Amino acid sequence: MKTMNCFYYFKEKARSRGHKSAPELRNPINKSENSGTDSGGAVINSTGSEISPRNIIDLYEEKVAKLRAFSFSELRIATNDFSRQFKIGEGGFGCVYKGKIKDVDDHGDHLVVAVKKLNKDGFQGHKQWLAEVQFLGVVEHPNLVKLIGYCAVDGERGIQRLLVYEYMPNQSLEDHLFNKAYPTLPWETRMQIILGAARGLAYLHEELEVQVIFRDFKTSNVLLDEDFQAKLSDFGLAREGPTLGRSHVSTAVVGTYGYAAPDYIETGHLTSKSDVWSFGVVLYEILSGRRSMDRSRPKSEHILLDWVKQFPTDSKKFTSIMDPRLESLYSVNAARKIAKLAESCLVKSSKERPKMSEVVEKLQRIIKTTNDGSPGDTSSSPIENKVGESKKAEKVGATESSRRRLAHLAKLGEQVEGLGRRKFLIMQKAKVAT
């Protein structure tokens, strides 16, 4: 959970004092922010069906009883007084610590959790903390991180805002893609992760009674459980989608440079297709092993989306964009299809981008085709050079066979003494060479 480069930050003073059993929610969306239609006058529905008159607050009030209200002292004990040794991440919200809490069954068992503590001087404040409770208190999906509870205390020592999540032992997708201290993320695992992330977004966009726009989809917000299943986290910037009769939500532009859709940056018009753009960027990060923006590289390679344009998906140069850490252990055919899917997510017109449910279907087909394909499909050589691949495979196979035979002969040669042993090996090597 690295520091998030937001387009803005704000300061908000507390308006009330005293501990609350549950966060008191106020709708952060002004009626004026839901106004407007696109140039074509189109109306975007939340879920593809008739939009519910209820909003996220209504849904939250139904489910708030499922969340645990922790005291500050409980979480301080759980994290050893927020010890640096327990710190596992840091972002715009503040620091995240690993901790242990008593299980709700009270059988003496402990549950490992992640505790996020608001940094009062950080980019994000009470409004983002409230959004996290609001949205994660409502959503429930295998590919979304589970919120266990919260802590909200206004006391003599100031305001304390904390969130308690399920613990994700394999950290984030960002860590595994870009941190060389981590082992290389295999191709199959990358496909599993990105499919899970797509399912999470599709659920938010199309399967809830109220549409949720994530608004900050990026690799650091894709966490990984013990089985490397992806779970979206950090809902501090999430927003409700447009209401009936509206095409978008008008908001201040927030997010992370390199991931935010250009149409959203230019107009402040937020739709679910803004998330689709961000997903397209992450697809290219999955393929290339490069960050969306990386100023440590040559100037022409700073912006990933500009750099990959030099290597069209149907060209022989395409494999130049692939992550060298994969060492050719991937399907070129599948990689091309993933790149084409990314391009469809990155089209200029937001209305022409696919829905996330469509992205999920395409990813499933690509993965199934790859799994059903022949072993030769994992070669990184261009598809057009299949004849050359065959000859190369024969040569490699012959070399490996020769090595195995020599090793076997060497073992037999241990039984031959003196000059006779040397003569024996020389003769056998000559046979292998012929």
* Catalytic residue numbers, as ranges: 216
The DSSP output letter for 178 is H
3-state secondary structure of 106: coil
| Residues paired with residue 154 on neighbouring β-strands, in sequence order | 159
Q: Decide if 275 contacts 330 (C-beta within 8 A).
A: no
- What would the two tokens of residue 357 be? 């449910």
User: What residues contact residue 338 under an 8 Å CB cut-off, 6+ apart?
Assistant: 283, 286, 287, 363, 366
As a whole number of angstroms, the distance between CA 22 and CA 66 comes to 11
Q: Decide if 212 contacts 204 (C-beta within 8 A).
A: yes
As a whole number of angstroms, the distance between CA 206 and CA 210 comes to 9
Binding residues: 117
Binding residues for ATP: 117
Helix 187-202 / helix 272-288 crossing angle, nearest 10 deg:
180
b (16+ CB within 10 A) / e for 98-132:
bbbbeeeeeeeeebebbbbbbbeebbbbbebbbbb
User: What residues contact residue 132 under an 8 Å CB cut-off, 6+ apart?
Assistant: 93, 147, 163, 234, 235, 236
